[in-house]
Structure 1
Amino acid sequence: MRKSKLQAASLEGDADDIEAAFYAALQNGDIDKLMACWADEDDIFCIHPGGPRVVGATAIRATFESMFSNGGAVRAWPERVRKTECVGSSVHNVLERVEVLSPQGPTQAWVIATNVYHRTAQGWRLVAHHASPGTTSEIQEVSDAPSILH
């Protein structure tokens, strides 16, 4: 499935801008804006927490349409982002705060996502989104960075 030139032209800027547009589209349940964030490549892929690898724009669109049909939006906010950037690609590891409905009502959970962006002829675009379940109570991160600066 190819994006129209109008969709591609509506997203300019860098990988951070595309990421912001992606999360805004999730929160608003806007499938067209969400899909405009993705590259026009056959091998783009998305892995939802606990789900299979979904390859290609048509299959990715179907998974998000299914999610949006169950509540209209995905309540996810990027809380912490670690980035590895170079000239033509940017990899963002994101700790997402997600609001989910439980039997007790709305509650928060954490998702750990990796978003990969490439600079394409249309500008920066998402080529991979891999999300894994985090914890339901707190952000977990293990790092070799010192916790106290000297």
Structure 2
Amino acid sequence: MSESVFTTPAEAEAAFYDALARADLNTMMSVWSEEDEVVCVHPNGPRIVGLASVRELWRQIFASGARLNIRTTQAVVSETLVLVVHNVLEEVAEAGSEPGGPPIVATNIYSRGAKGWRMVMHHASPTPNLMDIQVQGTPRVVH
């Protein structure tokens, strides 16, 4: 595990998206808390719990060879002294392409510990195509 120290949640988040773009497993895992109570959920994917399982998930994703560029927008931040929640829209594109389709909604949670700020949760969900919802004309209730 890298000894990176992120002095702000924003530094940790920048490293997370940089590691994702470069498919860099070591940098990706340097962002995550070393505690085992971490959680990762990818769009339409299962809930992955535990540091070893999260590492294996990222290893498989990076081994696939896909390279993604992700631009985050519309950040909403909630913070306390030891916990910060970032909710962002992710505009996702394969490397060399422009984003297509609706954005992904992601919630990234960071905890401050002895080694600075580290990610404890990444939860990403697809957003519905707004044109499809407007055409349906009826409200969609999810819970």
Measured against the shorter chain, the TM-score band is 0.7 to 0.9
Residue 27 (structure 1) aligned with residue 15 (structure 2)? no
Residue 38 (structure 1) aligned with residue 35 (structure 2)? no
Q: CA deviation at 1:91?
A: 0.2
Q: Are the structure 2 counterparts of residues 98 and 11 from structure 1 closer, same or farther at C-alpha, using a change threshold of 3 Å?
A: same
In structure 1, the residue matched to 2:78 is: 84
Where in structure 2 are the equivalents of 1:1-150 lying within 5 Å?
3=1, 7-8=2-3, 10-100=4-94, 107-109=99-101, 110-135=103-128
Unpaired segments ≥5 residues, structure 2: 132-143
C-alpha contact (below 8 Å) 1:91/1:116 kept by paired residues: yes
C-alpha contact (below 8 Å) 2:41/2:124 kept by paired residues: yes
How high is the sequence identity, in percent, across the aligned residues? Answer: 36
- Cα RMSD (Å): 2.1
Q: What amino acid is aligned across from residue 54 of structure 1 in structure 2?
A: I
Structure 2: distance between partners of 1:75 and 1:61:
20
Structure 1: distance between partners of 2:116 and 2:36:
17
Q: CA deviation at 1:71?
A: 2.3
Structure 2: distance between partners of 1:60 and 1:74:
18
Q: CA deviation at 1:40?
A: 1.0
What do the CA deviations read for 1:86-109 (whole angstroms, capped 9, x no partner)? 1111000010000159xxx86523
Q: Are the structure 2 counterparts of residues 119 and 107 from structure 1 closer, same or farther at C-alpha, using a change threshold of 3 Å?
A: closer
Q: What amino acid is aligned across from residue 95 of structure 1 in structure 2?
A: L
Unpaired segments ≥5 residues, structure 1: 139-150
Structure 2: distance between partners of 1:137 and 1:76:
20
What do the CA deviations read for 1:23-63 (whole angstroms, capped 9, x no partner)? 00000110100000000111101000111110111111111
In structure 1, the residue matched to 2:135 is: none
How many residues in Structure 1 have an aligned counterpart in Structure 2?
129
